Structure 1
């Protein structure tokens, strides 16, 4: 589920983890941002997998060190983005309270820099411990009972943050009928501006072999049909597979964000993406954890059909 933090005092930030706007579901460009932030820029992170202890490693990677590096890079940008997104799997495996305590420490410098944070849930997250660590994160009046959704309105595009979590530490994702119904109505109410949709799980266009679990979005067919029926939807951004790639399905751009944590395949980049929304498209710039990686600084220009 998405939650949102606005900049505040560092002392309060570390005490509570983050402050959110209870019941607020539609946010305007620059909400909570420092004056002078670029309303068209967003820092995109995914799959941070933060453990309870900063010393924990996985796949020869220190996840805490990676996130701290990314936070330093984002806060050091000469031109500040209007927001930072973490697209799910914030916690390591089971969304433990200690995971979120460490996460709060890692992201605290974003507050000092005046950078609002928006976070969605992945399959390794758990709402209960997250709300306990980030006490003001839960909205008082959620739009949906089973899923939590948010719209961020910026000058050139609307961002829709969705919830694909089904069960903690279960790989399968799902948008679900209730959320799809809400999304259809929300998109129909905003037809005149390009829309970027984000959720943690990957689309999965073919059913798994019998006896195997869905590894991506179980209701991909219904979800993609819905997005295709609203021509203002230009891109779907996701994580989960730890694989930086951009493909296309019809007119819809499919943007698979890189992991901040570890990669599943040697040689693939981990890191984050600086995104600039233009009137007619999106510019994506990859920033890799290893500055010597051959794809570091890679820029991709997407143009809306």
Structure 2
């Protein structure tokens, strides 16, 4: 399941057991009494944090970008119900030193008692993550060798999936066992809208011969499942370093911007502020460069 961090100091963060931090696969957030008319989440993807704060890529300092986002989240007028990191927390191969630097970057969130949830991307490495934290795997994960969980809110349920197939291999995969778990979990929560979230992009068409499959290998099965469950309103993902809102039939596809660098200079990098209420969810771009033409652009998904 994804890693869930409560308010702990850095030494505790690097030494507490994964079972203690991530041993609960279903969590309820945003249920503070009385329940407000809306709630917010902060979403980050593709932070690509390297072992040293001095490392840059594509003329971007990834560490500085994450530190900027962390500072902005902590300065929001109202505290988000949770901060979600959607994969590729580490730079390329998920080195222990990458995660040590990542821990330093997110320490102000921990100090502010922000609730953190993380999924893994293709540049993450679960064993190295655990080694850096001096931790161990949960004894009974909901899906064997996968890291999945559910966040229940008053307005919608979030299903956090694991699309990591192999570290530093661009292809993603969910697998039959995880899809079965997702189907059962959705059936058990058909009374609320559902937002499904994983790192990788969808890919309907196989790549040319000799080219790697860049998105989710089992996209066809995954899409069929999401369309079959009418409460699923949106799929939220990263991986492509693109900020966009498209649709596949009635299913909204929200591509989160990269916190790190972009592949297309016209694309913004940054993070996303999500606002939920009884009628839907809005995703608002918080561009690192606030002069970017799409800064504070809103993508709306109505129930």
CA separation of 1:115 and 1:180: change in aligned 2, threshold 3 A: same
**What are the superposed Cα offsets for residues 162-205 of structure 1, whole Å, 9 maximum, x if unpaired?**
00000010000011111001111111111110000000000001
**1:54 and 1:228 mapped to 2: Cα distance?**
42
**What are the superposed Cα offsets for residues 228-279 of structure 1, whole Å, 9 maximum, x if unpaired?**
0000000000000000000011111000000000000012100000001121
Q: Name 2:171's counterpart in structure 1.
A: 172
**1:20 and 1:121 mapped to 2: Cα distance?**
18
**1:219 and 1:15 mapped to 2: Cα distance?**
36
Equivalent runs, 1:86-97 vs 2, <5 Å: 86-97=85-96
TM-score if structure 1 supplies the norm length? Answer: 0.93
What is the CA distance between 1:223 and its match in structure 2?
Answer: 0.2
Root mean square deviation, CA, Å: 2.1
Equivalent runs, 1:1-305 vs 2, <5 Å: 1-9=1-9, 12-13=12-13, 20-30=20-30, 40-136=39-135, 138-304=137-303
**2:112 and 2:72 mapped to 1: Cα distance?**
11
What is the CA distance between 1:137 and its match in structure 2?
Answer: 7.4
**What are the superposed Cα offsets for residues 6-47 of structure 1, whole Å, 9 maximum, x if unpaired?**
11345534665999534210001148x9x9999721100000
Runs of 4+ in 1 over 4 A off after TM superposition: 14-20, 35-39
CA separation of 1:39 and 1:50: change in aligned 2, threshold 3 A: farther
- Tell me which moved more, 268-277 or 36-45: 36-45
SS, match of residue 21 in structure 1: helix
**1:72 and 1:201 mapped to 2: Cα distance?**
27
**2:189 and 2:43 mapped to 1: Cα distance?**
23
SS, match of residue 163 in structure 2: coil
Q: Is the 8 A contact 1:4 1:137 kept in 2?
A: no
**2:194 and 2:249 mapped to 1: Cα distance?**
16
What is the CA distance between 1:140 and its match in structure 2?
Answer: 3.2
* Long gaps (5+) in structure 2: none
**2:49 and 2:218 mapped to 1: Cα distance?**
28
**2:8 and 2:284 mapped to 1: Cα distance?**
28
Q: Is the 8 A contact 1:71 1:107 kept in 2?
A: yes
CA separation of 1:39 and 1:149: change in aligned 2, threshold 3 A: farther
How many aligned residue pairs are there? 302
TM-score if structure 2 supplies the norm length? Answer: 0.94
Q: Is the 8 A contact 2:119 2:147 kept in 1?
A: no
CA separation of 1:10 and 1:122: change in aligned 2, threshold 3 A: closer
Q: Is the 8 A contact 1:5 1:19 kept in 2?
A: no
SS, match of residue 205 in structure 2: coil
* Long gaps (5+) in structure 1: none
SS, match of residue 213 in structure 1: coil
**1:215 and 1:119 mapped to 2: Cα distance?**
21
Q: Is the 8 A contact 1:203 1:216 kept in 2?
A: yes
